[in-house]
Chains A and B, each alone.
Chain A
Amino acid sequence: MGYVAVKGGTLAIEESLKRIKFERIKQGKVLDVSRIEGGMRGLIDQIMSESSLYDETLAALAIKQAEGSPEEAVFLLRAYRSTLPRKHYSRAVHTREMRVERRISASFKDIPGGQILGASVDYSHRLLDFDLMHETDEDAARWLKAFADDLGSVNEAGRPPELMKVMDYLIEQGLMISPADDNTEPDDVTRKSITFPASRSQKLQVLTRGQTGTVTSLAYAVIRGYGALHPTVGELRVGSVPVCIDDPLGSGSDDEDSYYIGEIKVTEAEMLMSAAVAKEQGGKELSFEIGYGLCYGQNETKAIAMGILDHSLEQGDSRFPTQDQEFVLYHIDSVESTGFMSHLKLPHYVTFQSKMNDVRKTKMGAAASRAGEKEEVEEICK
């Protein structure tokens, strides 16, 4: 039987697309994008981080269209992003300038500026709150008013204090070496495919836009034994950092003459690992190293996991899959991995036909061979 090329299915596809819309609205209820933006902060942050596109409203729209499926929402945003021109590159953002909303250290109790819990579910009981079944906008307004009254009026003047970074504290104490600025222009995996061995900028870019679950699982594997680390959170901070661009029409790069375009919320994790550093005359000295995690939104698990994987990949011992750059970086992207799984659903008639022919041939060969053996035996027995 020859291969058969087929076409068709246009009408079926049109009807299928109607079905997907039907499934989204069949209960006669439509989600308001502003309500998704207001109440689904966690999912929005995850989608923005995985799609590598910062815009809460677009993320909310993608979530609505995708009926809450993160992989589909990320796909939609990546596709939309590809239609927009990239107009500028920002000046280097520094997390020291972060307006902190939450900042903790699991390594040091008494960090300068203190442990600021901010908004976190870490200390909640994780009991389902059935009151939310009937929560109304009026309930929310009442609660917000009471919350504001409780805070009282704080007569603060001047700028809020800048919180010292735990890492700077360690450097100050002589427990860590302060590296010099590396001003190598970063590679961009969205413009040029990753190459191996990957540069540090490629690694960090792929990790920060990685699928949250995959980044987390691989980092978990590092700690469970498929790696060689047991890190501690040196500092975890969540807050807003300013983004500025140089004057596109000017020639200089004066920071004060740059354009401020707004703030973006990020989560930064500096994971501390102790490491032996070789000294003179074969001696060794213990010091601390940092695994670095930074991602859009409040994505604490992902930022911590990214920090673990960053340090793991820096080790580069190929005995451990989590230190193998290709293993980690080629399989961590949401659109690439879910896209590959999805493509398996698309017609593979020709490929499968070829496999069927192979199977048939093998079976026919085996049957012919068995028939031949039988004839041989009969011949001998005569």
Chain B
Amino acid sequence: MNQSSRASTFIMVLYLIFLLLPIYWLVNMSLKTNFEINTTVSLWPRDLTFEHYIKIFTDASWYTGYINSLTYVVLNTIISISLALPAAYAFSRYTFVGDKHLFFWLLSNRMAPPAVFALPFFNLYSAIGLFDTPWAVALAHCLFNVPLAVWILEGFMSGVPREIDETAAIDGYSFPRFFVKIFMPLIASGIGVAAFFCFMFSWVELLLARTLTATNAKPIAVTMTRTVSAAGMDWGLLAAAGVLTIIPGALVIWFVRNYIAKGFALGRV
């Protein structure tokens, strides 16, 4: 037993080092001057500098990218969760005409390649005048986030015994009141996990976000790709912008860390 637990620790430590090494290198680079990056390969910054971070926080063309990204991510999470809650309840509690086909069709949209949708979305959102607004990206990301939220919430809701619904009905609760007052607190962790996943997949997506925005709603990911190619290769600035995109994710993980394993199994363990 002792020997196998030592082997486990060894594997785990190796794996965590493998995960952290590239991130360490990114942080390391963001704290170096471009001169040092281009001339030497050093394991820590010899000439520590925060100039790249200062530039990002003072230059509007950089920090508005973060604001734009967070705007559509939050909009998308709110839309996805509020639409998915009643639908997931219906799937977990009732049998109805076409339910299995509908569930599969929803699921298949989670799997559809965004590259297929890039051009038609561009046409669609230009036609209805939402192009280059956070709403366009928030609605476009619903394509995969709404099905995902339904899938996760359905898993968590199926874990709540149906007797609770019946007892509440006997006690005279109307359906909306029962849903908000009794049912939602019971699946609070499920809602948290679903919100986490919507946040995650909307935050990391680039292709649709890039296609649907031009200047006003440009997300940070696009600012990174465009500015960098235009200004030669400003590695230090690129690295600092990268580090700052990791932070929101890390904060969100911290809040859901206790549910993360169950959440990744989409409430189906």
Q: Do A and B come from one complex?
A: no
B: residues with CB less than 8 A from A are none
